[in-house]
Structure 1
Amino acid sequence: MPRSRISGGFSAPTIDVFVDLGHPFLNRTFDGFLKIGAVGASRVAAEEAYYSISKGTVSKHRLEHTLKKMCKEGALWGTVAGLYVGMEYGIERVRGTRDWKNAMIGGAMTGALISAASNNNRDRIMVDAITGGAVATAAVFINYIT
């Protein structure tokens, strides 16, 4: 029986911004902050655009609210990403090797620090640390697969 197969690819345009802060740790941390902060702000912009279109109205007040929400979410997402990237890089430098364990430890430490900063109890901090480590490790393994 004859078979046919279609293969193709998709490539998104890339925009790369580099700010040299004089140290690789600072460069990576700031890069993570900018890139993921932009993702968080874009998510809010898309969500708010959908709500405005579905309601059929756009007002100055709504635009101001959207801009404030974009800044807040961008800063939050960027802070978490910058903290994670900095932790992972620091652990890589301390351990002297680059592998999935750095992501696991960096994710766990980031989850614990963000949770502790939110005034959570010990059990919640542990759960967030485990979640951060698991998500970071899974992301590294998925990156190896593709």
Structure 2
Amino acid sequence: MKNHLIVVGVDGSDSGRRALEWAAREAAGRDTAVQAVLAWSWDGVEADVLTATSPEEEHRQATAVLERQVQAVIAEHGSHLPIAAETVEGRPADVLIAMARGADLLVLGSHGHSRLRHSVLGSVSEACIRRATCPVVVIPTHLGESVPDREPAVRAAQR
């Protein structure tokens, strides 16, 4: 690796956590740092059980999700891992592509958001594979593991 940086997209999902764990293992034993990135926006498309009431609250919640996932990986793999965490406002694919410019690798989970978000906004991993200037690794969902479906939460929030 030439630039000694692995950028990984984190979104609070199990798939994003697995991507961060894979990136941490890949960086371990090398002179490589991990930059965990969570893109957030105040677009009203995400409708989880805990919804933000303002852009500031959305940013705060995104930062808390990212910190929890980074701390969990550090606790599991050791504090010697250089993992930086950053929340960035914007569309996930655009943010991750920009953050990965000059990086050695961009790591993503294969599934993160609901099917509704995928059908409206498109796949983040597909966009990153097409447009990134560095190699992209997509960590698959475990075989036999179901992909979480948040559509019931979306329908409940729309009522």
Tell me the TM-score normalized by structure 2: 0.29
**The structure with more helix, counted as a fraction of residues:** 1
Which structure is richer in relative contact order (CA contacts within 8 A, separation 6 or more)?
2
Tell me the TM-score normalized by structure 1: 0.31
